Amino acid sequence: MKILITGGAGFIGSHLVRLFVNKYPNYTIVNLDKLTYAGNLANLTDIENKPNYSFVKGDIVDATFINKLFADHQFNAVIHLAAESHVDRSITNPLEFVYTNVIGTVNLLNAAKELHKADPSKFTKFYHVSTDEVYGSLGDTGLFTETTAYDPHSPYSASKASSDHFVRAYHDTYKLPCVISNCSNNYGPFHFPEKLIPLCINNIKNNKPLPIYGKGENIRDWLFVEDHARAIDVIFHTAALGSTYNIGGHNEWTNIDVIRLLCDMMDEKLGRPKGTNQQLITYVTDRAGHDLRYAIDSSKLQNDLGWKPSLQFEEGLSKTVDWYLQNEEWLTNVTSGAYANYYEKQYSH
Ligand code: NAD
Ligand code: DAU
């Protein structure tokens, strides 16, 4: 089994690559990543020399390159995570999200379609990793299910919704063997410090303001990243073709409560008097089109495929903070930009 994982140098992709490389020594894992600002090969140092792993630097928007890669490697399956993933960046530069998230996905679908047409017994799965943001925003009650109508609000979620529609269209039109999952907010090690939790961990550490959009009352449903990777593993191996699964931890928090918890936890871990870090909380202008609430009903995944989250939020957050405090070099390299040289040092000779 030769599997292409796209976006494997990013946050979730690196956890998935690590899981597959270690758990399935008989699989060959090819990690394709453009190494944008969000891609960091230092996320994968522990597995980079394993015999069943290789890295390819490349852009999914480049159709000629993608077609050649598929022809050369004859992949048996694709797990597609490569994307522009930050909502705030999509507000300032929507086109980049159309190129990578929509056109990049269609390029991969086209290349997969050719392999499947040539030998359907050899190309067996196109797994598209998507987000709960495609469903839009909830009010005070209710949960997103797999049949909730799509209603994206940001350029990011609109581009992910579009890519999901293309994946379903290729399944229905060309009988491409596709599976989609839509997951809630992830957190954990290797999270790029532009997203709420790692940004605030880094700012607390450095005594900098913690920017809370609006009143901090928006709600997100947080899942530890390794639980997402385990869910992808289960879905990849057991879900019916053409199916969709929601992934989430039944773990809703307002942003302000997450940050208060983080402040208190880090007071203790950094030996600061209780209440010190909460003084860093700063309310700032709200995000445009800010979705109020996401909450996932993952009962289909739990009942059909037996997956469940492994960690309580407090435990996962504590593990995450410890990881950031113990991996100061990773964080410094990311915030200084030095991580961008890792590829040159490691691969280009
Ligand atoms: P990330 O931004 O950390 O990583 C994205 C990776 O894709 C990076 O390594 C980047 O270099 C690579 N990439 C970007 N453009 C590329 C291109 N044109 N060609 C090749 N590689 C490219 O993202 P993440 O948070 O790990 O998210 C991974 C996937 O999971 C995305 O599809 C995202 O929509 C989805 N998702 C994320 C979350 C979350 O909470 N982070 C939740 C649900 C779903
Ligand atoms: O729901 C899944 C999605 O979760 C993924 O598809 C996205 O790729 C991922 O980035 C994430 O999107 P969010 O916009 O929910 O994540 P972010 O960490 O950017 O923001 C979380 C919440 O915190 C959101 O309500 C906005 C708020 N926020 C964010 C930042 C960066 C702040 O209040 N201040 C901030 O500085």
CATH of the domain at 161: 3.40.50.720
Q: Is residue 47 part of a domain?
A: yes
pLDDT the model gives residue 346: 73
Taking the centre of ligand 2 as the mean of its atom positions, its distance from the CA of residue 70, in whole angstroms, is 34
Domain boundaries, position 132: 2-188+224-250+295-312+340-347
Give the pair of three-digit tokens for residue 158.
């609109």
Q: Is residue 200 part of a domain?
A: no
Instruction: Assess whether 283 carries a catalytic annotation.
Output: no
Find where tokens 């994946």 sit.
167
The residue ranges of the chain whose pLDDT is under 70 are: 348-349
pLDDT the model gives residue 349: 56
Q: Is residue 177 part of a domain?
A: yes
pLDDT the model gives residue 341: 79
pLDDT the model gives residue 37: 96
Chain segment 258-302, per-residue pLDDT in tens = 999 999 999 999 999 999 999 999 999 999 999 999 999 999 999
Q: Is residue 307 part of a domain?
A: yes
Q: Is residue 289 part of a domain?
A: no
Ligand nearest to the CA of residue 8, numbered in listed order: 1
Q: Is residue 51 part of a domain?
A: yes
Please indicate whether residue 132, judged by its CB atom, sits closer than 6 Å to ligand 2.
yes
Atom 21 of ligand 2, nearest CA residue: 196
Q: How many domains does the chain have?
A: 1
pLDDT the model gives residue 185: 98
Atom 41 of ligand 1, nearest CA residue: 186
Q: Is residue 87 part of a domain?
A: yes
Ligand nearest to the CA of residue 192, numbered in listed order: 1
pTM: predicted TM-score of the whole model, two decimal places: 0.98
Q: Which of 14, 36, 84, 167 to mutate to test the pocket of ligand 1 (most atoms within 8 A of CB)?
A: 36
Taking the centre of ligand 2 as the mean of its atom positions, its distance from the CA of residue 67, in whole angstroms, is 34
Q: Is residue 323 part of a domain?
A: no
Atom 44 of ligand 1, nearest CA residue: 131
Q: Which one from 127, 156, 294, 343 is the annotated catalytic residue?
A: 156
